[in-house]
Structure 1
């Protein structure tokens, strides 16, 4: 077992050590990033997490339940990359939104690439599992798309839902290219991401 499988464990819900259920989900995310979907089994999670055999099944009886637990935990881990204090203040405009996008992307790519790889595994699997697809979409809308549209509206967008799609596509493209695509050997600097976000928003919002 490599350190990559166990290292990504995140904090517990109250900032303490993760619970057994959180450890199971964190380990599942690590396995998805390291070994892919075929490498994720209940036994593999038990072994990688150092848990007694059968522990993972106690928390997620089926494979579908294990995937959903991993996806829910992924949403928590990704949300924790930014603190509430780092969210733009009302009236921060395009500059505040560009800073938010740049910081979030840089923390994903430089500090938590395993979360991005696990997300791709889950996204592809969701195309084959309707229940996982429904959960994936609900989380994406509530955790990212709706807040992003609200920020764009506050920055002056006349079509925030349509513009949100453009911003999401840019973020997704940047993460894929720099984690699994042609530019995977180099993580952009925070300043490079900041410049890219500003250019994108300038084109969308004008000014």
Structure 2
């Protein structure tokens, strides 16, 4: 196994460990045990816990950007609010279905890193792109696209949290009901902001 592959394996295991056992369970030794690696392997690749957390933040961010590109959400041409709501809802539903552990680990780390401005800021920006949101609202003709983008990201953060840990956590992603709930919420939002 290459160094890059081994590092990725350790980072993915770290995300899963945080998601299933909490932030306090994240140790080099726990990762070695979870991956059945010789003692000291995780610390060889990530000398400090901070280096490991930096790699987790990078992994979540990189995956989020790749998922967004794969979703092919575009702001070219006139923006149809209903179609945009359906597209973003589909993307969010896939995020909830495929990356639950990323979402749980991200939220656990965001709270744990409140006093670490650099990592906290990076992690807070790891899921949604403010620039993409500004582009969307500019294309919709919203005068203050910066404020609209910040508000929209706050809405998305709340929706995602509600769906994996809040009152709607039992609404299974990847189902028609899940997609309908997300689409309805976003359609109402886009219709309202466009008036």
- TM-score bracket relative to the smaller structure: 0.7 to 0.9
Q: TM-score, normalised by structure 2?
A: 0.86
How many aligned positions are there? Answer: 187
CA RMSD of aligned residues (A): 2.0
Question: 8 Å contact 1:108–1:115 — kept in the other structure?
Answer: no
Q: Residue deviations 1:18-51, cap 9 Å, x none? A: 7111111111111111111101111111221232
- For structure 1, the 5+ residue unaligned runs are 1-17
Distance 1:172 1:138 in 2: 11
Change (3 A) 1:179 1:85: closer
- For structure 2, the 5+ residue unaligned runs are none
Of structures 1 and 2, the one scoring higher in RCO (CA 8 A, sep 6+) is 2
Q: Residue deviations 1:92-130, cap 9 Å, x none? A: 513443233212210122232111101101211220323
Q: TM-score, normalised by structure 1?
A: 0.81
Q: In the TM superposition, what is the alpha-carbon distance from 1:138 to its structure 2 partner? A: 5.9
Distance 2:138 2:75 in 1: 13
Q: In the TM superposition, what is the alpha-carbon distance from 1:87 to its structure 2 partner? A: 2.1
Distance 1:78 1:54 in 2: 30
Mean Cα displacement is larger for which, 129-138 or 57-66?
Answer: 129-138
**2:12 counterpart residue number:** 26
Change (3 A) 1:77 1:54: same
